[in-house]
Amino acid sequence: MAALGIAMGGGNWFSALVLGVTLLKCLLIPTYHSTDFEVHRNWLAITHSLPISQWYYEATSEWTLDYPPFFAWFEYALSHVAKHFDQEMLNVHNLNYASSKTLLFQRFSVIFTDALFVYAVHECCKCIDGKKAGKELTEKPKFILSVLLLWNFGLLIVDHIHFQYNGFLFGLMLLSIARLLQKRHMEGAFLFAVLLHFKHIYLYVAPAYGIYLLRSYCFTANKPEPTASSLFPTLPFQAGPLPRILGSKLLGFVQCFGQSAVCHRLLSVGKAGDASIFLILTTTGHYSLFPLLFTAPELPIKILLMLLFTIYSISSLKTLFRKEKPLFNWMETFYLLGLGPLEVFCEFVFPFTSWKLTYSFIPLFLTSVYCAVGITYAWFKLYVSVLTDPPVGKTKKQ
């Protein structure tokens, strides 16, 4: 801790945060992994051992390659490193192969490719207005945003326990947003186009990107200088900030939640209203991920990590906006506190009832409905703020 304090005091706090979360990711290597682990192992085998013409037709495994071409080439590149760990993982017929070396390679491949996410976070933080910066490092918006992004609970459990490559993909998206904030519109558009060729789920964000670029770059003689708080509210159809549209997806689409919560962090340090929406969305959304980790050893891990992240998120943003009204009203506070009893019932009470065998779906049903209410409320509140808040430019003039 003393070393961390020295590093932060010396201006290397970002590196200290990166090092800390990387060590945590390494500690999560032995944990449970989902069928997505086998999905990506199979894609490594397909792209490495078969000609390109067969990549999207190979069906030995039920986990066929169904991501866009850039992700296929991403797997192909990883496979040439994987062969130095365990050649057998690259055999298409080795279904459900999970040797210790395969586990290490795939876990470390996620950690290593997170470097793009780290760089994107750094670039986004450079765009944050520092006017609210307090005297203490921990009260500065850039520090708070860095922690909220780098130590994102959702990414930690989905990528580094459940197993996916969302950090790498979110890195592309955040870097694209950072380039737009920096008035490097062509680079931002290019990076988003690249992202679409990695994962097609981001396609529904394209209309917001297109309209923003038409408004702020193509059809504007005097191109305004964007800021983190004014970039996406300039959309002419009042869709609000680009991260805001993502909240329209409820449960069942974990990726949709992830994009909304991760990107909404950019707004959370700019305005108290956005901070409130972010906290409701991210707390509810993070809890909705709990069913992904259903094994007993991971129960204390997910509870502890979520508690730590939630407590930090609320306390840091309350400190940042301490001169403004409370971030939650009584109804929102009551709702968020209700997540505690819900977890107790689902994890510690229901398993010992007679309903466990007959109605085993009840915990998942209750979690889905409860979280859907919170995310829908956050989505509704967000759009109300977009439609009623004055434009940033007018606010500054007043």
Q: How confident is the model at residue 129 (pLDDT cuts 50, 70, 90)?
A: low
**pLDDT in the model for residue 252:** 32
In the numeric block, which tokens belong to residue 345?
């019932």
**pLDDT in the model for residue 306:** 96
Torsion, CA 150, CA 299, CA 158, CA 65, rounded to 10: 160
pLDDT digit string (tens) for 171-184?
999 999 999 989 89
Helix, strand, or coil here: 335?
A: helix
265-270 average pLDDT score: 59
Of 172, 189, 71, 196, residue with least CA distance to 120 = 172
Cα separation, 161 vs 37, in Å, equals 10
Q: How confident is the model at residue 221 (pLDDT cuts 50, 70, 90)?
A: low
Q: How confident is the model at residue 390 (pLDDT cuts 50, 70, 90)?
A: low
In the numeric block, which tokens belong to residue 359?
């109605």
pLDDT digit string (tens) for 327-358?
999 999 999 999 999 999 999 999 999 898 89
| Contact of 171 with 116, CB cutoff 8 Å | yes
**pLDDT in the model for residue 217:** 85
**pLDDT in the model for residue 268:** 60
204-224 average pLDDT score: 79
279-287 average pLDDT score: 93
Amino acid letter at 9? G
Cα separation, 193 vs 176, in Å, equals 9
**pLDDT in the model for residue 194:** 96
Residue 305 has pLDDT above 90, yes or no: yes
pLDDT digit string (tens) for 39-84?
999 999 999 999 999 999 999 999 999 999 999 999 999 999 999 9
Cα separation, 355 vs 240, in Å, equals 44
Between residues 390 and 228, the one the model is more confident about: 390
CA-angle at 152, arms to 210 and 337, nearest 5°: 105
94-114 average pLDDT score: 96
Cα separation, 159 vs 262, in Å, equals 14
CA-angle at 182, arms to 154 and 111, nearest 5°: 30
CA distances from 204 to 192, 200, 201, 261, 393 (A): 12, 9, 7, 16, 28
> What does the buried/exposed string (b/e) look like for 231-260 if buried means 16 or more CB atoms within 10 Å of the residue's CB?
bbbbbeeebbbbbbbbbebbbeebbbbbbb
What lies within 8 Å, CB to CB, of 143 at 6+ separation is: 13, 137
**pLDDT in the model for residue 103:** 96
Cα separation, 150 vs 154, in Å, equals 11
In the numeric block, which tokens belong to residue 374?
């919170």
Cα separation, 331 vs 333, in Å, equals 5
**pLDDT in the model for residue 238:** 33
Q: What is the largest CA-CA distance in the chain?
A: 69
Cα separation, 265 vs 140, in Å, equals 14
**pLDDT in the model for residue 245:** 34
Cα separation, 262 vs 148, in Å, equals 8
In the numeric block, which tokens belong to residue 323?
């001169």
pLDDT digit string (tens) for 14-47?
999 999 999 999 999 999 999 999 999 999 999 9
Q: Write out the H or E segment, with its range, that includes residue 166.
A: helix 166-181
First to last CA, the chain: 45
**pLDDT in the model for residue 270:** 63
Q: Kindly tell me the sign of the dihedral angle through the C-alpha atoms of 252, 56, 172, 229.
A: negative
**pLDDT in the model for residue 284:** 95
Cα separation, 302 vs 38, in Å, equals 22
